[in-house]
């Protein structure tokens, strides 16, 4: 069956912290749901070390209130993906993302993660280090160019309007002759 659920704010949290690998498990709905995130460090060629979530495992039961019309109510399931590289950051920084991030666990199970802030390594005094923002979040370091684009389009439209106005005036001026040319330069009409 198909089901949609939200991890409650009061989910119980457990896990392990290691030098190269850490895990985070969220347990909720009276133990019928568990989501486990495995974090691993990886050294880069430039000498820096980064971490990422390498595996997500979801254990759940087809609770009828979440999976209406289930053919196998209350049947336990476990799905996982151990080929992931999501939520990456430098080892001494936290990872933060307020945007919606879709993570494919299996062909039939997607996990939507939003408002995540994690730091599986090098936590000091129980506080997050400076955050590495996800690419989906707008931030001051990635400003929106909407104002510049809007001003450019507005200026372009003003120039086009002036050009059209000038063209119409010039065309209209060519249709009428000045009174001087009809009466001659010496004649003045009073």
β-strand 94-97 against 131-133: which pairing, if any?
parallel
Q: What is the pLDDT of residue 82?
A: 95
Long-range CB contacts (within 8 A, 24+) of 28-31: 29/5, 29/63, 29/66
Q: Model confidence at 185, in pLDDT bands (50, 70, 90)?
A: low
Between 10 and 144, residue with greater pLDDT: 10
User: Could you tell me which residues are beta bridge partners of residue 21?
Assistant: 40
CA distance 27 to 11: 6
Q: What are phi and psi of 183, to 5 degrees?
A: -90, -20
User: Could you tell me which residues are beta bridge partners of residue 183?
Assistant: none
> What global pTM score does this model have?
0.69
Residue whose C-alpha is closest to residue 120's, from 89, 150, 86, 148:
89
pLDDT at 21 > cutoff 80: yes
Q: What is the pLDDT of residue 68?
A: 86
Q: What is the pLDDT of residue 163?
A: 72
Tens-digit pLDDT profile for residues 51-106:
999 999 999 998 888 888 888 888 899 999 999 999 999 988 999 998 888 899 99
Cβ within 8 Å of residue 153, ≥6 positions away: none
Q: Which helix (H) or strand (E) holds 165?
A: helix 146-175
Computed from CA positions of residues 128, 24, 42, 141, in that sequence, does the dihedral angle turn out positive or negative?
negative
């Amino acid at each position: 069956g198909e089901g949609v659920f939200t991890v409650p704010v009061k989910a119980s949290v457990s896990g392990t912290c290691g030098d190269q690998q850490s895990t985070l498990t969220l347990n909720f709905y009276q133990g019928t749901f568990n989501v486990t995130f495995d974090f691993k460090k990886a050294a880069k060629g430039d000498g820096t070390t980064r971490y990422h979530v390498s595996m997500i495992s979801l254990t759940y039961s087809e609770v009828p209130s979440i999976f209406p019309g289930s053919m196998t109510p209350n049947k336990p399931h476990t799905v996982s993906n151990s080929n992931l590289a999501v939520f990456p950051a430098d080892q001494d920084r936290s990872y933060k993302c307020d945007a919606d991030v879709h993570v494919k666990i299996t062909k039939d199970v997607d996990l939507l993660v939003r408002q995540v802030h994690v730091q599986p390594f090098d936590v000091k005094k129980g506080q997050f280090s400076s955050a590495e923002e996800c690419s989906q979040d707008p931030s001051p370091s990635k400003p929106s160019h909407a104002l510049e684009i809007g001003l450019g389009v507005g200026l372009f439209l003003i120039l086009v309007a002036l050009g059209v106005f000038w063209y119409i005036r010039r065309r209209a001026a060519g249709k009428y002759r000045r009174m001087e040319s009809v009466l001659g330069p010496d004649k003045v009409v009073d």
